[in-house]
Every structure is written in structure tokens, then in C-alpha cells.
Chains A and B, each alone.
Chain A
Amino acid sequence: MATINVNGQEIEVDEEGYLVDLSQWTPEIGEAMAKMDDCELTDAHWEVINFLREYYDEYQIAPAVRVLTKAIGKKLGKDKGNSKYLYELFPYGPAKQACKYAGLPKPTGCV
């Protein structure tokens, strides 16, 4: 099992870098994962990451990208609820990449 080092603590991740124990998540872990992808997290990123965490908390799943886009549009406005905006923030795929930093499993159906 792979681990990443966050503030001197070894955190277990799977072969694709997703957190193994969801309850271990802290914002620092999200930051550290992003840094490994050369991604600096801004408030705009956090808006999406926090949204995903809330969605998971309520429904126990990470939403598919289509569902995420629609839901973000409804909650944060049309200018953010589109794939252009979300892919600019998370070029590796908004659902896939943002879920990783949010400490969630990969969205169901994502390969």
C-alpha cells in the first residue's frame, strides 16, 4: 500500500492516490495531494471540493461529472456550472481530480 507524507504523518492511499480511510481527511491532505499534481488550490478549487464533500455526506456517493456540473450550477451559479469552468480548475477531470483532493473515493462509473 502506498502512502503520502503530510506534515510528517504517513497517510495511506490506493494505487491511484485516493485516500484509503476517508475519515483521515484534513484540508492539509487535500493540499498535499494537489501539490503532487503541481496544482495550487485556490478558493475556487475549495468551493468545488467542499461541495463534493457535502454531496458525499448527504448521498454517500461521489457524483458523476454530469451530475456534479448540474448541481454546481444550481448551487453556485450558471457561470460555474459548466464543464469549461470545472475542467480549467481540475484539468484531470473535475469529478476524478477534485474527489481525490476531497478525500472521497473515485466516482462510481469512473474508469
Chain B
Amino acid sequence: MSDVKKFLYVNRKAPYGTIYALESLEVVLIGAAFEQDVALAFLDDGVYQLTKDQNTDGIEMKNFSPTYSALGDYDIRKIYVEKESLEERGLTIDDLQHLTYEDEDDDWAEKDSIQVVTAKELAEIMDQSDVILSF
């Protein structure tokens, strides 16, 4: 289909301190209904959105981190996390949630959604996107 555009959601803020992370997630879920080619990028403090074991009991806010696991159901298969941003924050991919999708073209095999990419690779991914939504 020629009318499918490449959407890239760019997430650069930590969750809970501002509304950006939650807003982005909601727009992603709503936007998924339009069946476009959607990818998510997490860089700078945005990488904190994907940490595992988030517990918001003490701050009286809803913990929306479990919702990232539902992205596979919404056919979102490309989640890019920037290597340099992880390293600058003393994090590795093991500190992040394990996110997967089921590949219907491969007998519903479960595959990893997260790809760690360098800033250079991410710059190319941004360049090749048709629509960039920044949060």
C-alpha cells in the first residue's frame, strides 16, 4: 500500500515527572488504529520509560509501564533504544523490560521488539521517517 507512512515517535523524557511519556503512549495506542508503519525511539531520559520493576505506589500515580508490553498486540514491532543514552545513564538492556511481538509471517513466533541502536543509526532512522512525533 502506497498510503502507508513511516511514523516515528521520539521519546526523550523520563516518566512521571512530566506528562510527556504517558501522552506519547496514549497517542501511540490511538494511532495504531490507522495501520501505519509505526516505530518508537527512546533516547536521552526517554530510556527510563522502559525500565523494569517500576513501582509507583509511593507517588500515587498510575504505573503505566505494564502497557508497553501490550504494544506487540498493537502491531508495534520496532522499538529503538539508543545505546549512548543507556550508557550515559549506567543502564544496559537488562535493566529494561523484555518487549516482544508475535510474527504472523513466521508461525506466530515470539520476537524481540527492542533493538539497541547507536546515535548514528538512530539519526538515519529519523531521516528515513515520513512523520516524526516528538515527546
Contacts and interface: CB of A to CB of B under 8 A. Distances in A.
B67 interface: yes
B29 A64 contact: yes
Interface in A45-94: 58-61, 63-64, 66-67, 70-71
Contacts of A108: 26, 29-30
A66 B67 CA distance: 16
A61 B70 contact: yes
A66 B70 contact: no
A8 interface: no
B33 A58 contact: no
Give the size category of A's interface with B: 10 to 19
A71 B70 CA distance: 11
Interface stretch (B45-53, B58-66, B123-131): B58-66
B73 A58 contact: no
Contacts of A64: 29, 32-33, 74
Give the size category of B's interface with A: 10 to 19
Given A67-B73, A71-B73, A109 B66 contact: no
Contacts of B30: 108-109
B69 interface: yes
A21 to B, nearest CB: 13
A60 B29 CA distance: 13
A61 B67 contact: yes
A47 to B, nearest CB: 19
Nearest to B34: A109
> What are the nearest 7 A-B pairs in CB distance?
A109-B30, A59-B70, A67-B73, A108-B29, A60-B66, A60-B67, A61-B67
Given A60-B63, A60-B64, 20 more contacts: A58-B66, A59-B67, A59-B70, A60-B62, A60-B66, A61-B29, A61-B67, A61-B70, A63-B70, A63-B73, A66-B33, A67-B70, A70-B73, A71-B73, A108-B26, A108-B29, A108-B30, A109-B29, A109-B30, A109-B33
